[in-house]
Amino acid sequence: MAYSEELYGIWLSQRYGIDDDTPGRLLNRLRTPSAVYRAEKELLYSLGFSSREVRPLSAKSLENAEKIAKSCAKLGIEVICRGDRRYPIQFLQLKSPPTVIFAKGTLPDFENELFISAVGTRRQSDAGRMNAHRLCFDLAAAGATVVSGMARGIDTTCHTGALDGGGCTVAVLGCGCDVIYPPENSYLYGKIIENGAVISEYPPGTEPLAEHFPKRNRLIAALGAVTVIVEAGIGSGALITAERAADLGRTVYAVPGPINTPSAKGCNLLLKRGAALCTGAEDILSGYELNYPDKIKIDRIVKKKYFIGDYRRKPDEKDEVLTAAAETGVDLSKTKISRASELQGDERKLYELLLSGGARSAEELTAAGVEMETAVYKLTLLEIKGYVTLLPGGKYAVK
């Protein structure tokens, strides 16, 4: 039976961790996932790969890859292999580029468009919200594509600003393309698919676990010709994105903020360490207008009437997915709302452990650093709230 290159790409992507550069080096030498699949051990050893690197390739079953491919087909998610002309060329600069990406929506031209990555804190201030929206509104109005992570706070505002500016925006997710996270962004998710794309290196159904986001940030940093940090505290994950961008040789911009505002201290620290000052879209675009004469026009900014749209979930919504589908015209009926974002602290930690590791007892969960008494109490609360169920034998599982 003849299999598609995408199927082999999915297979290869499942053999190694996301931080492992082995798949990239294999593809550099053998060109295609199917060639990697068919390669004999002796050939791989002769090319300089160690037994540790070769060992995962001995699992030749395509069953799991076929399940993922069928799920993608059902959900309307594209599978794009490295080597496909639609694959983001910027990712090839990463040490561990995704073997495949999953995408939903209309992918922009990654080779010829100007991409600006804009991110920030989840705990945005009113000033940060206004700065993010106006900045991305103007970037989009001028013809740039705004890249962000669709997280709560500044990321969400960056996407809405780009949409209001009449432009394209790309959301890089730390979960599957069919998972709406945070749940209140269901309407925004539909609008992004209408006017851009959501992409992920995680297969459908993958929940937004905390460890996914630092890894996701390298993709946001890679896509942007520059990265701008709109508002960020000292501990913000946006600073990870700034670091990844700097490692790739990208210019990092930061929007300054009041010196006594916690959510501005990260940006001010970046500026102190040499980041470029951003006071508006012109600061970023002035260096690119000549390079993209048919794409970027700064004078469009003053011609575009500024406004702020409403992308919030309505307070009386009973089913946010169906409501978003009705209002955007995009079929979201097969997507699912992630419930992890509704929880905090130990409850979220326990819920994510059950998501990633399957059914476990309270005793098994204490190995993750949660005290036994706390684990029993929190698991009981999660059961009452309908997040988990108690199985025969005393183990808990996500509902």
Average pLDDT of the chain is 90
Q: How many CB atoms lie within 10 A of CB 344?
A: 8
Query: Of 73-82, 204-213, 342-351, which one has max mean pLDDT?
Result: 73-82
Instruction: Give the pLDDT band of residue 317 (cuts 50, 70, 90).
Output: very low
Q: Which comes out higher in pLDDT, residue 316 or 211?
A: 211
pLDDT tens, residue by residue, 333-346 = 566 666 666 677 88
Q: Report pLDDT for 351.
A: 85
Answering whether pTM is above 0.95, one says no
| Strand 179-180 with 196-200, pairing | unpaired
Residue where the block lists tokens 């997507």? 335
pLDDT of residue 1 exceeding 50 = no
Residue 85: CB atoms within 10 Å: 9
- The string of pLDDT tens digits covering residues 239-282 is 999 999 999 999 999 999 999 999 999 999 999 999 999 999 99
pLDDT at 330 over 60: no
Q: Count CB-CB contacts under 10 A for residue 235.
A: 11
**Is 179 buried (19+), middle (13-18) or exposed (0-12) by CB count in 10 A?**
buried
**What 3 state SS string does 115-130 have?**
EEEEEECCCCCHHHHH
Instruction: Give the list of residues 6+ apart from residue 101 with CB closer than 8 angstroms, or none.
Output: 79, 80, 87, 88, 91, 199, 200, 201
Q: What percent of the chain has pLDDT over 70?
A: 92
**Domains by residue range for the chain, with CATH:** 5-105 (no CATH), 115-196+204-303 (3.40.50.450), 343-398 (1.10.10.10)
